[in-house]
A and B are shown apart, each in its own frame.
Chain A
Amino acid sequence: MSKRLECAIPLNRVEGDLELKVAVENGRVVDSWSSGTMFRGFERIMVGRGALDGLVITPRICGICSMTHLTAAVNALDCIAGIVPPANAIRLRNVALMVETIQSDIRQSLLMYLVDFANPIFADHAWYEQAVARYQAMQGSRCIGAIKETKRLLEIVALIGGQWPHTSFMVPGGVVYAPPINDLQKSLQLLKGFKRWYEQTVLGCSLARWQAITSVAELDEWLNEQETHRSSDVGFLLSAGRAIGLDRLGIGHAHFLSYGAFNIPEGSLVVGSTGQLVASGFAVGQEVGSFDQRHIAEQVAYSWYADQTPGGLHPMEGVTTPVASGAEGNKYSWVKAPRYAGQAAETGPLAERVVARDPLFLDLLQCDQGASSLTRQLARLIRATHLFAAAEQWLNEMIAHQAMPYYLPVPPLLNGEGVGLTQAARGALGHWVKIREGRITHYQIITPTAWNGSPRDEQGVRGAWEQALIGTPLADPDDPVLAGMVVRSFDPCLVCSVHVIGGGRRRLMA
């Protein structure tokens, strides 16, 4: 009767590739194992290098969120230097990071996520033709728009830091140079131009109209209100996503983690809790508690690393000792298993919304009985609505206070320990660094995908998307569209997932 079938699913359209192994009964996933199958060894590369070298090496861990690694690296060094950078430096860093985050959200949503709705298996749906016209790979009108507009938006990072990706303009004490005022004005124009496109195309309404939505009932009202709402990318995602049941799939552990991001500098008019625009916190269901990085530990019971202390190690003490790949007992991934106070957690834009106690998203969790893939992707697509105003404000504040410093001299960093935390596009990112006599002696990184794509822990508890996959229909193992959409709603970034960095390829057979 219930025939159990196990199959391997290599998944593309994530940063790096990923291999899932799933067990299927009666056409639904009943168990899953997520395998990151590439080991790049970044943390080992860092040891012995110069104190500032993390600013050059770690952005190169990830081509889509290199600015986030730069931010985490510089936060750790500021911490070692014991310095708070000048307000303008914080503003400039924040604006650059926001730009990267917004481009990532848009590229992932339009080029890697919505494209699945153009799969022929959905040909019977009324919206199918529209999906093809808009999102078909390399052809859809919205794909072209997304490429054009994100490219333009990234010009801001070039004006600020010289290039994107892989700049290193943040240094302990601030930033390397004060951008000329006309470059700041140009950045503001580019940002506003992007915002106009975002309102017209992604939202189909003004930011103010969108921000007025505080419940699922109001969201439905918005959807019914007018055609521009329905035909926007957000409108399409909601209607088509519900039509294929994404609002009932991908329910995970419902533990949400945010390290917080975008420090608010002294004298700024931008408002936020915990001293940051994006708040830090750890939520179990809708219960939001405070966050303390000391509660993080990484376990390797199911990861291809030498076994260690039960309960795992805090990243300041963590080690990365790979064991030869293959089928060593239970081990199946190069990704370690980070846990917060012993618990698995998901991180990303949805976690940010939950930790911020956003009424719309708390209501969505209630209605969907958990964090569905649709809600997760919606949080990503609308995250920019929470960033535009602050980015504009900070650019204006820099323009008004251009003569104020962007850098405070910092003596050479000789000894110390530092923690650098931030929120990447994909969620919580941390760097833990030790320096002795001007050289790096310890570097451990926990990436968002290490949280989301974690393998099992010592207790056998699944990682976030392993758990989210349970219950997903899987009709055709050769074209697992819905399973892919569940995992992609976490925006996996396998190139940096392996703690030690590694990305994803491959396999594991049933």
Chain B
Amino acid sequence: MNLYWIQSGGCGGDTMSFLNVEAPNLLGLFAELNLELLWHPSLSTLSPKQRLTLTDDLLAGTRPLDILVVEGAILRGPASTGMYDTYQGKPKKDLIAKLAHQARYVVALGTCAAYGGLGVDAYVQATGLQFLRQNPGGLLGSEFRSRSGLPVINLAGCPCHPDVLAGTLTALIADIALPLDNFHRPLAWYGMLVHQGCTRNEYHEYRIEEEDFGQKGCLFFHKGCHGPLVGGPCNKLLWNRRSSKTRAGVPCFGCTNPDFPMDYPFFETRHIENIPITLPNGINRAHYLVYKTMAAAAAPDRLKRRETEI
């Protein structure tokens, strides 16, 4: 198979993240999958003219396109013209839409490409490929299906974990089904919570909360951690083979969520009567209140004294 990678309104962070893939490395992965990289903006050496010819061939269908990876939000501004991001003087959004219709599979890499991410405002008018934040539609419309019959596969995250892209490419090439959730994220990686595997779980369980930085306790109750609220494999796969933000004391900012970045401030938890406004998925507020009150009462001294390592 072949792969064409296009960047739009993004930071390139998903590419940088993918360079860290363990498979055993990026080049090894492409060789192993027998995957031909037709074009990548940072890695390819095609001359500008060769790239244009390639792109024209893909659009004309004279050369088949297997996998289209889109990195970055689709910019539709100003005033829906798309001129904030252009290729050959024409809106990039139109090129991406045309390529998507030629591709066997379309992968939205990162939260910006999937849901719009940063820049979803009236001005820049960023959108994801098939969603605008939580709402189906986006650039391509909710009915869009690539040639394989699949919708856009959303690999959320800011950035996306490199193993998630590697695993997705591997499954597509092996023709293994990838069940998706409501926001079209593969359940294999997004059907679990960021919280699972966090080394601060013990503190979370007994409601040992931190009100300021620098401690070992849980960051969910005061420091705005989204770990128990959002799906993602951060604490299962770990980052750069080593750790995760929550393990290192940085609250999870919920970057795999369609509404990232949320419009309320980071680093603080919004409360009603001392209980977070947003509770872990499926939990009843009254039950949660009782559970956490009892848990706090049952907390062992070793946790209260922050003796347990994380």
Stretch at the interface among A154-162, A377-385, A453-461: A154-162
Complex interface: chain B residues within 8 A of A180 (CB): 309
| Nearest CB in chain B: distance from A33 CB, A | 15
Chain A 12-27 residues near chain B, CB threshold 8 A:
12-17
Complex interface: chain B residues within 8 A of A495 (CB): 10-12
Q: Do B213 and A505 touch (CB < 8 A)?
A: no
Complex interface: chain B residues within 8 A of A496 (CB): 11
Q: Which of B22, B123, B242, B255 contacts A158 (CB 8 A)?
A: B242
Q: A118 vs B44: C-alpha distance in the bound complex, in angstroms?
A: 12
| Nearest CB in chain A: distance from B23 CB, A | 11
Chain A 477-497 residues near chain B, CB threshold 8 A:
478-480, 495-496
Complex interface: chain B residues within 8 A of A177 (CB): 213-216, 248-249
Q: Which of A49, A55, A407 contacts B214 (CB 8 A)?
A: A407
Q: Do B253 and A56 touch (CB < 8 A)?
A: yes
Contact A506-B265, Cβ < 8 Å, known A160-B248, A177-B249: no
Complex interface: chain A residues within 8 A of B265 (CB): 49-53
Q: A38 vs B92: C-alpha distance in the bound complex, in angstroms?
A: 10
Q: Do B12 and A64 touch (CB < 8 A)?
A: yes
Contact pattern, A 145-174, Cβ under 8 Å of B = 1, otherwise 0:
001101100110111111111111101011
Interface membership of A133, Cβ < 8 A: no
Contact pattern, B 23-48, Cβ under 8 Å of A = 1, otherwise 0:
00111001000000100011111111
Chain B 169-214 residues near chain A, CB threshold 8 A:
212-214
Interface membership of A373, Cβ < 8 A: no
Chain B contributes a number of interface residues (CB within 8 A of A) equal to 76
Chain A 31-78 residues near chain B, CB threshold 8 A:
37-42, 44-45, 49-53, 55-57, 60-64, 66
- Chain B interface, DSSP helix/strand/loop, else mixed: loop
Interface residues on A, range: 35 or more
Complex interface: chain A residues within 8 A of B2 (CB): none
Stretch at the interface among B61-69, B77-85, B131-139: B77-85
Interface membership of B70, Cβ < 8 A: no
Q: Do A16 and B48 touch (CB < 8 A)?
A: no
Contact A162-B247, Cβ < 8 Å, known A479-B49, A505-B85, A506-B86: yes
Q: Which of B87, B92, B239 contacts A162 (CB 8 A)?
A: B239
Interface membership of A271, Cβ < 8 A: no
Contact pattern, A 266-287, Cβ under 8 Å of B = 1, otherwise 0:
0000000000000000000000
Q: Do A143 and B27 touch (CB < 8 A)?
A: yes
Interface membership of A144, Cβ < 8 A: yes
Interface membership of B121, Cβ < 8 A: yes
Contact A168-B250, Cβ < 8 Å, known A17-B41, A154-B240, A163-B243: yes
Q: Do A40 and B42 touch (CB < 8 A)?
A: no
Stretch at the interface among A200-208, A318-326, A391-399: A318-326
| Nearest CB in chain B: distance from A463 CB, A | 20
Q: A44 vs B118: C-alpha distance in the bound complex, in angstroms?
A: 11
Interface membership of B257, Cβ < 8 A: no
| Nearest CB in chain A: distance from B195 CB, A | 14
Interface membership of A406, Cβ < 8 A: yes
Complex interface: chain B residues within 8 A of A39 (CB): 75, 77, 84-85, 124
Complex interface: chain B residues within 8 A of A17 (CB): 7, 41
Choose among B11, B46, B75 the residue with the greatest number of A CB atoms under 10 Å from its CB.
B11
Interface membership of B158, Cβ < 8 A: yes
Q: Do B266 and A53 touch (CB < 8 A)?
A: yes
Q: Which of A56, A107, A119, A169 contacts B45 (CB 8 A)?
A: A119
Q: Do A40 and B242 touch (CB < 8 A)?
A: no
Contact A40-B243, Cβ < 8 Å, known A60-B158, A505-B92: no
Chain B 92-110 residues near chain A, CB threshold 8 A:
92
Q: Do B266 and A325 touch (CB < 8 A)?
A: no
Contact A166-B159, Cβ < 8 Å, known A16-B12, A39-B84, A147-B26: yes
Contact pattern, A 309-351, Cβ under 8 Å of B = 1, otherwise 0:
0000000000000101110000000000000000000000000
Complex interface: chain A residues within 8 A of B309 (CB): 180
Q: Do B11 and A155 touch (CB < 8 A)?
A: no
Contact A38-B243, Cβ < 8 Å, known A12-B42, A64-B16, A506-B88: no
Q: Do B44 and A15 touch (CB < 8 A)?
A: no
Chain A 88-111 residues near chain B, CB threshold 8 A:
107, 111
Q: Which of B43, B118, B244 contacts A57 (CB 8 A)?
A: B118
| Nearest CB in chain B: distance from A52 CB, A | 5
Chain B 121-177 residues near chain A, CB threshold 8 A:
121, 123-124, 158-159
Complex interface: chain A residues within 8 A of B159 (CB): 63, 165-166
Q: Which of B14, B27, B234 contacts A147 (CB 8 A)?
A: B27
Q: A180 vs B266: C-alpha distance in the bound complex, in angstroms?
A: 25
Q: A159 vs B61: C-alpha distance in the bound complex, in angstroms?
A: 47
The chain A residue sitting closest to B24, CB to CB, is A148
Closest 5 CB pairs of A and B: A50-B265, A63-B13, A177-B249, A163-B239, A162-B248
18 additional contacts (CB under 8 A) given A50-B266, A173-B213, A174-B213:
A12-B41, A13-B42, A15-B42, A38-B85, A45-B118, A45-B121, A60-B13, A136-B45, A155-B240, A155-B241, A158-B240, A160-B248, A163-B244, A169-B248, A325-B86, A495-B11, A507-B86, A509-B89
List 6 A-B residue pairs with CB atoms under 8 Å apart, sorted by A's residue number: A16-B7, A38-B84, A38-B85, A42-B118, A115-B45, A162-B249
